[in-house]
């Protein structure tokens, strides 16, 4: 079942995570939660004026699906390892003696990183692979073996750190080769994924009460000795869910995942998220988000920055499997230059 390219995407994915921001001079106890919202059309972005605009209102069926989900926090450890291939080299060990304060240390590091993240520009390579995995034949969904399509796009990428009355916001934008804003960054087949630059703020202090956590073990990841933590969002605690738009229908989805935390400085090295539960009722059987972070050396920056280097998003929807990879390179500080024009 193919999908012809069109100006309006067949499937648009706009991630929204419940983010918290710290204003200069605020203490962690003063943090208020704000939520950037990406609308279901690629042309607009807005911020709700009231937090209640995004309050969850699950119907009974949605609630049963999420509440009865089998999570990494509850599954036997070997089942978690078998489910998440990235954990194959993980070793078990004693839970850290200070495990009660582990999340506090991670949250504190997140706050420090947010406060010291300037606006930066980079190159973004977006690689989209799409294949049809099933089709409808005589009213029945059957396997399909159509060859995949692959498309590579290159954008200018801006990660803007903006100080507002409520705190600091991280927002992302794409530009063309001439630095002009790109209103639509989807592939020719209409696939869009964006808004993942601040996904690591899921472990921000004010957001941690929306999830349950479990220490799993130790693992070397990207040359870092890491502590491995599983998490799962709690349906009744999530006030600001991740929002997606499928075929123009806006949905709130919940996630579970794995976080690899540097054992020495408690920075998030990698984050892997999966749907809390499949949604065959929505024809959404799989979705995953993987964010890899690392040191970025910028000549004019006062210190080495810790930024997303790669984001991989994959999903299966209505028999179509999509993988969209975002690679970031050539980082530099971003500044707006202006001049006074005589009247």
- Taking only the tens place, the pLDDT of each residue in 169-200 is 788 889 888 888 888 888 877 788 887 777 88
* 103 compared with 251, residue with greater pLDDT: 103
Quote the pLDDT of residue 246.
73
* 331 compared with 340, residue with greater pLDDT: 331
Of the candidates 2, 38, 5, the residue with the CA atom closest to the CA atom of residue 245: 38
pLDDT-above-90 percentage for the chain: 40
**Residues whose CB falls within 8 Å of the CB of residue 290, separated by 6 or more in sequence, listed in order:** 270, 271, 272, 273, 310, 311, 312, 313
Q: Is the pLDDT score of 23 beyond 90?
A: no
Q: What is the mean pLDDT of residues 269-274?
A: 96
- pLDDT confidence tier of residue 280, bands split at 50, 70 and 90: confident
Of the listed ranges 138-142, 238-242, 254-258, the one predicted with least confidence: 138-142
10 half-sphere exposure, CB direction, 13 A CA radius: 18
* 13 compared with 134, residue with greater pLDDT: 134
Q: Is the pLDDT score of 73 beyond 60?
A: yes
pLDDT in tens, 84-134: 999 999 998 777 777 668 999 999 999 898 888 889 999 999 999 999 888
The C-alpha atoms of residue 293 and residue 173 are separated, in whole angstroms, by 19
With vertex at residue 244, the alpha carbon angle to CA 133 and CA 270, rounded to the nearest 5 degrees, is: 80
Over the chain, what is the mean pLDDT? 78
* 34 compared with 113, residue with greater pLDDT: 113
What is the value of pTM for the model shown? 0.80
Q: Is the pLDDT score of 11 beyond 60?
A: no
- pLDDT confidence tier of residue 311, bands split at 50, 70 and 90: very high
The C-alpha atoms of residue 295 and residue 177 are separated, in whole angstroms, by 25
Q: What is the mean pLDDT of residues 48-54?
A: 34
Quote the pLDDT of residue 46.
26
C-alpha R_g of the chain: 20
The C-alpha atoms of residue 239 and residue 48 are separated, in whole angstroms, by 14
Beta strands in the chain (DSSP E): 11-14, 19-21, 32-34, 37-38, 45-46, 120-132, 134-137, 140-143, 149-164, 167-175, 191-194, 211-221, 224-233, 242-246, 249-253, 255-262, 268-275, 284-296, 305-317, 320-333
Q: What is the mean pLDDT of residues 126-147?
A: 80
Of the candidates 215, 199, 324, 218, the residue with the CA atom closest to the CA atom of residue 268: 199
Quote the pLDDT of residue 82.
96
């Amino acid at each position: 079942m193919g999908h012809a390219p069109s100006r309006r995407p067949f499937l648009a994915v706009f991630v929204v995570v419940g983010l918290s921001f710290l204003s200069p001079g605020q203490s962690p106890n003063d943090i208020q939660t704000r939520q950037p919202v990406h609308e279901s059309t690629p042309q607009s972005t807005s911020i709700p004026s009231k937090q209640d605009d995004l309050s969850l209102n699950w119907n009974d069926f949605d609630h049963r699906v999420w509440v009865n989900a089998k999570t990494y926090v509850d599954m036997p450890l070997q089942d978690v390892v078998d489910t998440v291939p990235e954990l194959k080299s993980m070793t078990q060990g004693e839970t850290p003696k200070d495990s009660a304060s582990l999340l506090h240390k991670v949250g504190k590091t997140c706050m420090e990183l947010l406060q010291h993240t300037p606006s930066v520009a980079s190159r973004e390579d977006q690689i989209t692979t799409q294949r049809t995995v099933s089709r409808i034949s005589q009213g029945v969904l059957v396997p399909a073996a159509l060859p995949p399509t692959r498309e590579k796009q290159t954008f200018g990428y801006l990660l803007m750190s903006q100080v507002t009355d409520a705190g600091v916001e991280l927002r992302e934008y794409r530009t063309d080769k001439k630095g002009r804003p790109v209103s639509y960054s989807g592939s020719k087949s209409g696939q869009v994924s964006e808004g993942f630059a601040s996904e690591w703020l899921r472990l921000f202090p004010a957001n941690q009460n929306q999830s349950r956590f479990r220490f799993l073990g130790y693992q070397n990841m990207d040359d870092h000795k890491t502590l491995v933590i599983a998490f799962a969002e709690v349906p009744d605690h999530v006030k600001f869910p991740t929002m997606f738009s499928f075929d123009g229908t806006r949905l709130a989805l919940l996630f579970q995942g794995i976080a690899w935390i540097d054992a020495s400085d408690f920075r998030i090295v990698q984050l892997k998220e999966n749907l809390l539960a499949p949604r065959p009722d929505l024809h959404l059987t799989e979705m995953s988000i993987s964010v890899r972070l690392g040191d970025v050396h910028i000549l004019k920056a006062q210190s080495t920055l810790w930024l997303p280097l790669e984001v991989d998003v994959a999903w299966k929807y209505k028999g179509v499997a999509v993988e969209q990879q975002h690679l970031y390179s050539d980082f530099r500080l971003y500044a707006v230059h202006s001049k006074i024009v005589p009247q």
